[in-house]
Structure 1
Amino acid sequence: MCTAITLQSEQLENFFGRTMDFSYGIDPELFIIPKNYEWTNFLSNKTISNKYSFMGIGQKKDGMLAFFDGVNEKGFAAATLYFAGYAKYDDEENSMEKESISSLDFLHYILGKCASIKELNDILLNISIKGLPDPVTKTVAPLHWIATDKSGECVVIEQTEDGLNIFKNEIGVMANSPNFKWHMTNLTNYINVSQIQIDNSKWGNVQLKPFGQASGTMQLPGGYTSPERFVKTAYQKTHIKIPKNSLEAINACFHIMESVTIPKGIVVTNRNTDDYTKYTAFVNTNTCEYFFKTYNNTQIIKASLFNNYKDSKEPISLGKLERKVKFEEI
């Protein structure tokens, strides 16, 4: 369970971020991957060299460094979200002529090689995404991806039984299952939702009046399923006042995500584990800055790719996301 959005300011800065909702234990860390960093393709054992440096949130476990989201030096950003019941990866028989990339490495691969959505489109023609068990769940995680660049263009990448597809994402929102086209069609069910108060109505001799403000939003869903989260964030991001600058934009992004942030105990899985929001993170794709907060520390932390970058042959860790809470006293 995760939700992702893009949001642009009046200054045309593009912001991109997500909630990380998960029922398995993870210990996320902020990394910088240097330009020209060489890493091993887990499927082919061949060396891959990154064209661009990037900063991303991920986790290193059992020798594998997998990323959940990130932004590179060119302002290209992307995130991985769960896609249960719909993801279907390639097999060896139908992808021999393409470079095989595991689903766990795909985000690392595109962040290291793409400067724009156009370049992403070109790269997708020549790769095949295959499933690989991850060290956290010990299963082949069903995934799909959302990507954007500093122009604000946004796409969704889904590998299903129909093949590898990339969809233009004009709404700038993504959640989990069903597929992206289903979510976009489902928005039509909420065509009457509005930020404007509905008018009084008369049923026979009975005068009906709205209960205070927000009557135009009564049809909005209130649960935490993927379709409900998609609708809520789509409505909010398309109706929120356009932020004037980067500070207003970051505040707006986190406010939007508050409606889909899941506290512990609200959603419990069949394994009797809590599915809750581990962290919420946004990036300014124009400045390559990260802003994040965690479940246990809601103070927003900021990190810059360029301020923390240094030449290295290895990933640079900026530390765990979980940090000690410090209250400001007055």
Structure 2
Amino acid sequence: MTSIGQPAFRARQLWNWIYHRGETDFAKMSNLSKDFRAALTERFVVQRPAITVDRQSIDGTRKWLLKFPDGQEVESVHIPEEDRGTLCVSSQVGCTLTCKFCHTGTQKLVRNLTAAEIVGQVMNARDHLGEWPSPQDGRMLSNIVMMGMGEPLYNYENVAKALKIVMDSEGISISKRKITLSTAGVVPMIERCGQELGVSLAISLHAVTDELRNEIVPINKKYPIAQLMQACRDYPTLSNARRITFEYVMLKGINDSPADARALVKLIKGIPAKVNLIPFNPWPGAPYERSTDAAINAFSDIVFNAGYASPVRTPRGEDIMAACGQLKSESVKLRRSARDAAA
């Protein structure tokens, strides 16, 4: 703060106003001097991403399409539950991974999000949930999952900076124990994530053989399953209390057999873990179908009987294309529709 002639403690006051109280108007920051507020107003701005679309599902899930100053857009989703409220946050515009079952993967990577754009998604949700100042208990936004558009570990520097702001006890103040970062398997970055952030880790696994995973999660060609499993075993802070979550989308006739379930149990043996079984969420032109309930339940029973929690994730927000794997920039869809109409 010395660059504008203020003592260092002013920075803490400003931080509190922005990240604890959610204030965007310098003029309302009442414990700052009038001259300081005027100087801030002349030189800086506190703003949120613009909201292009705000949609709410019949199940209470809410999805925002957010636009940044360069016109690029991402989606973030708030999922309310009885004991928590989870915000699914994006890290990139588009995605470079091209996972075959994921709608976002059909959109090419445009660019990484900045730390400000990542935090902005959290701030936007807090605004709409009316949770300023940051509450300590009973939050409607209690958990963060880096599971939106993009691969977080391919934008690690910005994701790390953003999550440190989110975790700061004098600001937004969401505990690292309530933050989960999901990766498709960027093996070299996994240990660093654990060492520097200490957040919970989720692995988008989805297959138990390199042959199938190479096809549906192409990053596996670079970092095959054996390397990924070793990175999981070496993950800092891993314990029975801090388990790794393995995400496994259930694709009819592809990866949902009892033999696949037994192979999964063998693959994760010795890793404190749980397995989230995700019924495939369809999207227009998707190449797969959702596994039957019978197949999903049989798969879950095998994993559970081997000693691993294996909850079946209830699809949320399907009616507004907000479910896992369905996020895609509305701007891309609209441009494509316009091109198709012209053709």
Query: Fold match, TM over 0.5?
Result: no
Structure number with the bigger relative contact order (C-alpha 8 A, sep ≥ 6) is 1
Identify, as 1 or 2, the structure richer in helix: 2
TM-score (norm 2): 0.29
